[in-house]
Structure 1
Amino acid sequence: MCIPLLQVDVVIPTETKYLDLIGCIGERIAKKVDGFTGDREALAYQLNLVLTEATANAIKHASDDDLQHTVRISIHLHSNALHIKVYDYGQGFDLDTVPIPDFEHPQESGMGLFFIRSLMDSVTYTRQADYNVLEIIKYLK
């Protein structure tokens, strides 16, 4: 893989008060992407939503309410793609078994992964030695 044009790594405690910060980082990156010919405002909104949802899921579902745990968010901007990785230390889950939300009877939660998958080009979730990685790719056209 080539060297990124921009790399941002953030490590936060497993507390939701940092979600706004993570979303804002995504927005700022989207607005500064050189050579992007698409709708910057739409990309900024999408990255805010995706980063906030991915981080919230890591905090809520993967960290066992242990405030000693952290969530790491790594964003690499390449000339043609944005690679996002969200690392957590929880039990993990099987991405392929997450159901599509019931839009006829919407729930208060459970839409995050649907939005992430809908807005991004590639989403994978893997277990490493003692942590999990949600990897998200958005191709920049």
Structure 2
Amino acid sequence: MSLQHSEVIRLDLPARYAYLHLLSETIAELLRQAGAPNETLVYNIQLAAHEVCTNIVSHAYRNRQRNEDRIKVTLTFHPQPPCLEIELHDNGEPFDPELVPQPNLSEAQIHGYGLFLIRHLMDRVTYTARSDGNYWHLVKHLKFGSQ
């Protein structure tokens, strides 16, 4: 099946690692419905979204796991030209992405690859801290012919 119209899916997830698989599964199903033939493409988008959510849980909410800590997600598939937009919102602590150092790719390190990966896997990544929370906007242009 190939979607010929825009499709919007909204999720309101508890800010806990245990629920992040729901976002990954939703992304995979939406892209399957859209006709994405490439599992690598699906995986890369899932990884980018997962990294944002992992950073929200571990940094914005600082692993505190309170019931009111949420991650609100909107997935929007646009058929012409085909692209997937992922919007994420949280009410955690803001940060300045410009202060996050680039990882040293010539040396192994345990942490510090998240933002680097997100930026390299998606076509556009924006982060905005506002008085009502933190907003991420990720865009991936989809080329269904040859990835």
Which TM class, normalised by the smaller chain length?
Answer: 0.7 to 0.9
**C-alpha distance 16-25 of structure 1, shift in aligned 2 (>3 A):** same
Matches of 2:111 and 2:24, distance apart in 1: 18
Matches of 2:108 and 2:12, distance apart in 1: 32
Q: Deviations over 1:11-42 (max 9, x none)?
A: 111111012221121222222214x5xx5211
2:50 corresponds to 1:77 = no
Cross-structure match for 2:57: 59
Matches of 2:103 and 2:122, distance apart in 1: 17
Q: 3-state SS of the aligned residue for 1:116?
A: helix
Matches of 2:97 and 2:142, distance apart in 1: 24
Check conservation: 1:122, 1:138, Cα contact below 8 A.
Answer: yes
Matches of 2:91 and 2:110, distance apart in 1: 25
- TM-score, normalised to structure 1, is 0.86
Shift of 1:129: 2.7
Matches of 2:75 and 2:136, distance apart in 1: 12
Q: Deviations over 1:73-129 (max 9, x none)?
A: 111111122111111111211122222211233222221111110011000100223
Cross-structure match for 1:27: 28
- TM-score, normalised to structure 2, is 0.83
Residues paired across the two proteins, number: 135
Q: 3-state SS of the aligned residue for 1:84?
A: strand
Q: 3-state SS of the aligned residue for 1:78?
A: strand
Identity %: 30
Structure 2: which amino acid aligns with 1:10?
Answer: L
Structure 2: which amino acid aligns with 1:106?
Answer: A
Cross-structure match for 1:40: 38
Check conservation: 2:16, 2:65, Cα contact below 8 A.
Answer: no
Matches of 2:118 and 2:90, distance apart in 1: 17
Cross-structure match for 1:17: 18
Check conservation: 1:28, 1:44, Cα contact below 8 A.
Answer: no
In structure 2, the gaps of 5 or more residues are: none
Shift of 1:71: 0.9
Q: 3-state SS of the aligned residue for 1:43?
A: helix
